[in-house]
């Protein structure tokens, strides 16, 4: 009887996610323009990716992105969360404000940064330039475009981590903190030997999620630069999207999607093992 309760969820999930996912994996071995009959071409899509400069650039950008997001926002979040623990008064207020960017639509965040901060005409960058300190628009320089986008995503994202770390820090046993304080631990010693070890499971989980999410990043890249200039900020997800809907190379897009998923899969394996431990409790 209770099995029937699962039918709606699983039906929707299978139709929207599972079947199309299987089809995508199959399509990766075909050439298809989305309209005509797909032509089986074996591994040709993958072989072409291996020699595709843009593909390697996108993959490299995803790796850079992962490296940035594994360090900067996690460090910021941890530091701010610890400081909120020290400050205590006002922590509820700080928490709400830091979290605020998370509820603003990505399209809007992207446009505010683009027009009001980075723009040489209407933004802060332009204002500073006119004051005599030339600041180029990071989004239009191949060497800085990816970092320009990353800053926007950082602004949007770090507060979420901060709130999660703060919630975890408050669970650290009071006695441990008291004991360390009586022993005369400094702020950094407290952080290093009591607080960080106390919330290690949360940090690990957030790092795993960061790796998975870093390979899925799409919105900010697509809205801010479309992967440009000259593919300098292309990531795998925008490459797949463009291949499918602009170049009508659906087979190639599917192959890129499979590559993204393989990266995710390795990380997911670790993630599910961690979750399994929690469910067995």
Partner 1 sequence: MRLIESRTTFVLTYAALAILLLITLFPIALLVLNSLKPATQIVQNPLAWPEVYRWDNFVRAWADARFGTTMLNSALLAALTIVLVCSTGSLTAYVLARRKIKSWKIVTFYLLATTTAPIQLFLFPLYFGFAKLGLINNVFAVSLIYTAIYSPFAIMLLRTYFLAVPKELEEAALIDGATHWQVFSKVMLPIVSPGILTVALIIGLYSWNEFLIATTFLQRTDRLTAVVSFFLLSGQYTSDWGEIMAAALIIVLPVIVLFIALQRRFIEGMAGGSVKG
Span 181-220, contacts to partner 1 by CB under 8 A: 181, 187, 190, 202, 205, 209, 212, 215-216, 218-219
Shortest distance, position 211 Cβ to partner 1, whole Å: 10
Strand partners, 185: none
Burial classification of residue 3, based on how many CB atoms lie within 10 Å of its CB (0-12 exposed, 13-18 middle, 19 or more buried): exposed
| Angstrom distance (rounded) from CA 213 to CA 165 | 18
By the rule CB under 8 A, 266 interacts with partner 1: no
Angstrom CA distances, 111 to 1, 176, 214, 223, 257, stand at 50, 46, 21, 8, 27
Structure tokens at 177: 């903190």
104 or 230: CB nearest partner 1: 104
**In the set 23, 63, 67, 75, which binds partner 1 (CB under 8 A)?**
23
- In this complex, which beta carbon is closest to partner 1, that of residue 102 or of residue 143? 102
CB count in 10 Å sphere of residue 120: 16
DSSP symbol at 30: E
Least separation, in Å, of the C-beta of 13 and partner 1? 5
Binding to partner 1, residues 120-179 (CB under 8 A): 121-124, 126-127, 155, 159-160, 163-164, 167-168, 174, 177
Cβ-based neighbour number of residue 139 at 10 Å = 22
Residue 113 engages partner 1 in binding (rule: CB under 8 A):
yes
- Distance between start and end Cα atoms, the chain: 27
Instruction: Judge whether 234 and 57 are in contact, CB under 8 Å.
Output: yes
CA 206/CA 157 separation, integer angstroms: 12
Residues 40-59, mask of contacts with partner 1 (x by CB under 8 A):
--------------------
Residue number, 18 or 56, with CB nearest to partner 1: 18
Number of residues this chain uses to bind partner 1 (CB under 8 A): 103
For residues 216-245, which are near partner 1 according to CB under 8 A?
216, 218-219, 222-223, 237, 240-241, 244-245
Which CB, 117 or 143, lies closer to partner 1? 117
């Amino acid at each position: 009887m209770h099995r029937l309760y699962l039918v709606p969820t699983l039906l929707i999930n299978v139709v929207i996610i599972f079947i199309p996912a299987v089809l995508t994996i199959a399509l990766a071995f075909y050439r298809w323009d989305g309209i005509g009959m797909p032509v089986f071409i074996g591994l040709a899509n993958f072989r072409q990716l291996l020699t595709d400069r843009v593909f390697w650039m996108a993959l490299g950008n995803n790796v850079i992105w992962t490296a940035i997001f594994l360090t900067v926002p996690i460090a910021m979040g941890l530091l701010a969360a610890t400081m909120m623990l020290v400050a205590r008064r006002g922590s509820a207020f700080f928490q709400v404000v830091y979290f605020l960017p998370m509820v603003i639509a990505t399209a809007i965040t992207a446009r505010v940064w683009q027009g009001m901060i980075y723009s040489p005409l209407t933004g802060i960058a332009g204002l500073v330039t006119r004051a005599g300190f030339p600041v180029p628009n990071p989004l239009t320089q191949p060497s800085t475009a990816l970092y320009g986008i990353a800053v926007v995503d950082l602004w949007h994202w770090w507060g979420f981590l901060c709130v999660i770390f703060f919630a975890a820090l408050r669970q650290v046993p009071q006695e441990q903190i008291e004991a360390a304080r009586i022993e005369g631990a400094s702020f950094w010693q407290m952080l290093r030997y009591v607080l960080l070890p106390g919330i290690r499971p949360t940090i690990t989980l957030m790092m795993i999620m960061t790796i998975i999410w870093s390979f899925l990043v799409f919105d900010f890249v697509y809205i801010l630069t479309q992967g440009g200039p000259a593919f300098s900020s292309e990531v795998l997800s925008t490459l797949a999207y463009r291949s499918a809907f602009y170049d009508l190379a659906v087979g190639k897009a599917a192959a890129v999607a499979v590559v993204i998923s393989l990266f995710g899969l390795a990380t997911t394996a670790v993630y599910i093992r961690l979750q399994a431990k929690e469910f067995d409790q």
